[in-house]
Amino acid sequence: MTVPAASAIIPCLRYRDAHAAIAWLEQAFDFKPQAVYADGAIVYHAQLVYGGGMVMLGSVDNGGEWGKLVVQPDEIDGRETQSPCVIVDDPDAHYARAVAAGAKVVIDIADQDYGGRGYACRDLEGHLWWFGSYDSWQPGHPTA
């Protein structure tokens, strides 16, 4: 199996204050805004990149049909039905950056039994994220 040139699956998230979320994701997780389509406080669509991966986001109430299908973590007791997993080169440095920006760590950084090192945290609006060095696209991993 070969490593894809770019993400074929892109997580999409909704935020009540999408502009603040974009700034925070840049500060805490080192995402880079690639495109932001907005009108005043409403973000219709934004693309943030990290390495070869991407996450898309928009305002909770941006007038689209998709937003009507999504609830926020604080509406369901902080639970999630999915979460982005981001492969990082240096999980310890990434962890320090995220903690310094106020990310709420829910699973502390540790070496994982299946390989790699990682941690889980919540962002400024409670979305759950996993960051770690385990890269199943690399040779030697069971799925490679």
Q: What's the domain range around 110?
A: 12-72+80-132
Answer whether residue 144 shows pLDDT above 70. no
Query: Running DSSP on this structure, what letter comes out for residue 108?
Result: E
What is the predicted pLDDT for the residue at 114?
A: 87
pLDDT digits (tens, 9 = 90+) for 9-47: 899 999 999 999 999 999 999 999 999 999 999 999 999
Tell me: the pLDDT tens digits for 51-70?
988 999 999 986 778 777 88
Q: Per the domain annotation, does 55 fall within a domain?
A: yes
Among 95, 89, 84, which Cα is nearest to 48's? 84
For the beta carbon of residue 130, count every other beta carbon within 10 angstroms: 16
- Would 5 be classed as within a structural domain? no
Q: Would residue 25 count as lying in a domain?
A: yes
Whether 143 has a pLDDT exceeding 60, the answer reads no
pLDDT of residue 1: 39
**Residue 84 belongs to domain with CATH number:** 3.10.180.10
Report if residue 19 sits inside a domain.
Answer: yes
Is residue 140 included in any domain, yes or no?
no
Q: What is the pLDDT of residues 73-127, one digit of tens each?
A: 999 999 988 899 999 999 999 999 999 999 999 999 999 988 899 999 999 999 9
Cα–Cα distance measured from residue 112 to residue 125, given in angstroms and rounded to the nearest whole number: 27
Residue 6 maps to a domain: no
Calculate Rg over the CA atoms of the chain. Answer: 16
The number of distinct structural domains making up the chain is: 1
27 domain residue, yes or no: yes
pLDDT score recorded for residue 95 = 98
Q: Is residue 53 part of a domain?
A: yes
Q: What is the distance between the alpha carbons of residues 131 and 27, in angstroms, rounded to a whole number?
A: 15
